[in-house]
Amino acid sequence: MKNKLAFWIKNARSIALPQSIVPAILAISIASYHPDFSWWLALIALFGVICAHLGFNLADDYFDYRHNDVEARKKVTEQGFRTHMEKCHYIESGAATLRDLLLAVCSFLAVAATAGLVVLIFRGWAIAVIALIGLLLGISYSGKPLELGYHGLGELVIGLMFGPLLMIGIEYAASGNFSETIIWTSAAVGLLVTNIVYSHAVLDLKADTQANKMTFARLLKSRNLMLAFSALFNILPFIIVIIGIVFGRLHWAYLCVLPLLPMGIYIIYSLKAHLDDRKIAFEPRWWMGPMGNFEAYRQHNMDWFLIRWLVARNLVTFFCLILTIVNIILAVGQN
């Protein structure tokens, strides 16, 4: 049982969990100001978010496999197009069946629903509305009837789910309250989360075009538009923070995220180089954050993809962690 759970957690792309965990932790830190704040409800909600994230990732694999998207991308790779393929290898190898995958999806989502039910009992029906919207968007990312990911809207759906929807839901679960701070902060975080999957789509543009997979990057078509949206996703979050401070909606200490701006600028620069077919050095720097076993990535010819993807992921992580620390210090000072 333990080995089976580890198998499915790994195949659910647990490497992407910071994409949901750190925004949730930030939302908890914002909720901690409220007099009705509950640690145990916050932790149950966080656990539910983790299970839902894993379940939705596996659901994406399930629908992609049924849609023949995996087979199409395999053919593209065999034709020599450089792409990032990580999906459904466990189905292709025979380690699991499609039925096993569906059962795993249902199991993770059932555990998430149980966590949501506990929160609902103590916080009321608002949490059910948020959870149902999240379920609809999560399944509709690649599932019928909407199949948003196949119409180029998947990146925007992910930003909405893991930014505003997740953070507002977590704050309400933890405190029974919606704050203006969470609106400003979750908008910035949502853009940065969108940036992760959008950067992925730009890097896989040629392969996705060959496989006829529609992404937001393909919808934009123009190189200049793609770079403009990269700038939007990387720079606008910092502008939101500054505007929030200027108008007195956010504490001035939120300016502590500004040293992260070079990470966003690097992503824009490196995507521009990719779109221009211009070679650049893929060398991790200390300010880029954790890079895992980068030499192994280089040996597998994945350094070109992972250095950009990891910088985008680390940008969200550091942004959220810095603001979490700021909120903890402010909350302690308030008490």
- How confident is residue 74, by pLDDT bands cut at 50, 70 and 90? low
Q: Distance between CA 169 and CA 162 in Å, rounded? A: 10
Amino acid 63: pLDDT: 86
pLDDT at residue 301 is higher than 90: no
Average pLDDT, integer, range 251-268: 97
The CATH number linked to 286 is 1.10.600
Amino acid 276: pLDDT: 93
State pLDDT tens for residues 44-64.
Answer: 999 999 999 999 999 988 888
pLDDT at residue 1 is higher than 90: no
Q: Which domain holds residue 323?
A: 2-334
Average pLDDT, integer, range 145-158: 84
Amino acid 62: pLDDT: 87
Amino acid 80: pLDDT: 43
Name the pTM for this structure. 0.90
- How confident is residue 69, by pLDDT bands cut at 50, 70 and 90? low
State pLDDT tens for residues 79-122.
Answer: 444 455 556 778 888 888 889 999 999 999 999 999 999 999 99
How many domains in the chain?
Answer: 1
